[in-house]
Structure 1
Amino acid sequence: MEELGEAAASKDGKLILDFLQAIHAAELRQAELDARAFTEEKKAMKEKYEKELKDAIARELMHAEEAALLDKELKRERAKAAAAIKSLQQKLEEKHKMELAEKEKEAELKLKKVEELSKAEMSAAIAREKASQVEKMAEANLHINALCMAFYARSEEARQSHSVHKLALGALALEDALSKGLPIKVEIEALRTYLNGIDKDSVLDLVLSSLPEETIDHGTDTFDTLKGTLRHFSLIPPGGGGILAHSLAHIASWLKVREANYSGNGIESVISQVESYLAEGKLAEAADALEEGVKDSRAVEVISSWVKQARNRAIAEQALTLLQSYATSISLT
């Protein structure tokens, strides 16, 4: 019994195992079927979603193109609107400017009319005032002119008197400079200034301009400085001489200075005659006498400069005499 039981048990176990294996095999087949179905369904879903994605992308591209077209159209419309606004603004500004210009022109015309009226009224008032002032000024001018003429006469008289006084002093200064053999440039310039204060067109200005330049700038040598040299060279023959001749001439001239008698035709007589002419103010005659007295000696070379200066001084003293006469005549008028 036990063996039968064990055999039956083993048989049942085998059946169970076979059943389990059959179930497992069925499950495997079912799993394969399920996997195949899932794969097919997954593939179908993938294809579906890919198609939907492509459609969505296509729609998005289409929408983007539509948006671009709309944006372009919007920009064009905005540009048109901006141009229209700008044109309208310009027209409004021009219209506003024209209105302002017209108003300004009207205001200027009104202002001009007011100014013209004011000017007319002012001109009338000024004319009336001027007429009144002219009468008063005419009367005042008569008194002022009379006073001015009197004052000018006195001022001119005082000025001319002062200038004449200066001219006389200038003549004295010129006389002093000439007597000392000094340059007279300063005195001549001062005299010209004084003459301008009296008479700018005076002939004395021409006289002063004709004075020798050498006398004006350097003055004249006195005859005393020439006498010793004159005595020395008058004893030397025209042909010249050596050292001995010059020494003897020097001693002889020194001795002749001490002679008291200057009569005759010697050099002392010539010197005496020249000094006599100079004392009388006869400069030209003194120059002629000196030239004549030493013409046959070496002294001719020595006296040439002094003779020229003496004649120039004679011209200057003639001008001085004319100047003094003019000053005297002016002071008496």
Structure 2
Amino acid sequence: MMLLQELKKEKMKAAAAVKELQEKTEQKLMDELQRKDEEASQQVEKVQELAKAELAAALAKEKASQIEQIAEADLNIDALCMAFYARSEEARQSHSVHKLALGTLALEEALSSGSPIRTEVDQLRKSLEGIDKDSLLELALSSLPEDVLKYGSDTQMELKQKFNSLKATVRHFGLIPSGGGGILTHAVAHVASNIKVEEDPSGDGLESLISRVEDLIVGGDLTAAADALTGGLQGTAAEEAAAEWAKQARKRAIAEQTLTLLHSYASSITFS
């Protein structure tokens, strides 16, 4: 009886030991499975991160390629635009140069007849807008006297004729001081004006002065002619009459200088 009880106890101990061992084995197995599962999850995460990185790199490369293509396309478009603009600008300037040349000829024609020149000057200003807005020519056109624009100017032939008519006044009143003189002074001046005396062309006499002015008119140097006449008659009774002729001569000189500048400019841009 005692033996059976002891045997039963041993069986119970053995069963308990087996159960404990089984539980420990199961726990160890579960722990191992959990560890493996965690490792697998980590590997999956690594693979996912690597895949994301590769995808991002591929997208970045593709985007960079697209940006490069877009930049190249922009350059091509810019080049085409510049070429088109250059051709358009060249055509516009060519048209403006043609208008400038025609306007210069029209101004020359108007000046040759002494006609008003406002219309021609306005047309020239418009043609200059397509070439050079800050040109010296604009300053030259702005310097033209208002009455020349509105009424025209004496031609060189007309100025020469008026000077011929002025000679008698110069010869007579050029010998009288400014402010007049007595009857005797006028009588002497009248007699002297009718006597032609041979003078040195470089001298200071009235005939020398008249000769110099005539030579300057023929040479086309109207400004110098005006300066010589007013300077030579300064302080005489003929000064006022000479001043009016000189005023018209200087106006004509300004107009001719502007025309010369226009011709030079038109030639330079046409053959440049």
Relative to structure 1, the CA distance from residue 269 to residue 220 in structure 2 (aligned partners, 3 Å threshold; closer, same or farther) is farther
Deviations 1:200-242 (A, max 9, x none): 3334223322322233223333322322431231224452799
Task: Report the counterpart of residue 201 of structure 1 in structure 2.
Answer: 134
Aligned pairs (5 A) from 1:224-243: 224-234=160-170, 235-236=172-173, 237-238=176-177, 239=180
Separation in 2, partners of 1:181, 1:305: 17
Aligned pairs (5 A) from 1:124-143: none
**SS state of the match for residue 220, structure 1?**
coil
Runs of at least 4 residues off by over 4 Å: 136-148, 261-268
Task: Report the counterpart of residue 121 of structure 2 in structure 1.
Answer: 188
Task: Report the counterpart of residue 302 of structure 1 in structure 2.
Answer: 241
Q: Does 1:275 align with 2:210?
A: no
**With structure 2 as the length reference, what TM-score do the two structures score?**
0.55
8 A contact 2:160–2:217 mirrored in 1:
no
- Give the counterpart letter for 1:197 in structure 2: G
Consecutive unaligned residues of structure 2, counting only runs of 5 or more, are 1-68
Task: Report the counterpart of residue 56 of structure 2 in structure 1.
Answer: none
Q: What is the CA distance between 1:195 and its match in structure 2?
A: 0.4
Deviations 1:267-310 (A, max 9, x none): 55433322322333322211111113334654322221221222
Task: Report the counterpart of residue 228 of structure 2 in structure 1.
Answer: 289
Consecutive unaligned residues of structure 1, counting only runs of 5 or more, are 1-135
1:167 aligns with one of 75, 100, 110: 100
* Structure with more of its chain in helix, by fraction: 1
Relative to structure 1, the CA distance from residue 188 to residue 143 in structure 2 (aligned partners, 3 Å threshold; closer, same or farther) is same
8 A contact 1:168–1:327 mirrored in 2:
yes
Relative to structure 1, the CA distance from residue 224 to residue 210 in structure 2 (aligned partners, 3 Å threshold; closer, same or farther) is closer
Task: Report the counterpart of residue 318 of structure 1 in structure 2.
Answer: 257
Deviations 1:124-169 (A, max 9, x none): xxxxxxxxxxxx9999877766555434322321221221122123
Relative to structure 1, the CA distance from residue 178 to residue 318 in structure 2 (aligned partners, 3 Å threshold; closer, same or farther) is same
- Matched positions, count: 192
Identity %: 55
- Give the counterpart letter for 1:224 in structure 2: K
Relative to structure 1, the CA distance from residue 181 to residue 303 in structure 2 (aligned partners, 3 Å threshold; closer, same or farther) is farther
**SS state of the match for residue 130, structure 2?**
helix
Task: Report the counterpart of residue 85 of structure 2 in structure 1.
Answer: 152
**Higher Cα Rg, which structure:** 1
8 A contact 1:163–1:198 mirrored in 2:
yes
Relative to structure 1, the CA distance from residue 268 to residue 218 in structure 2 (aligned partners, 3 Å threshold; closer, same or farther) is farther
8 A contact 2:159–2:249 mirrored in 1:
no
Relative to structure 1, the CA distance from residue 304 to residue 181 in structure 2 (aligned partners, 3 Å threshold; closer, same or farther) is farther
**SS state of the match for residue 223, structure 1?**
helix
Q: What is the CA distance between 1:263 and its match in structure 2?
A: 5.8
* Greater relative CO (CA pairs within 8 A, separation 6+): 2
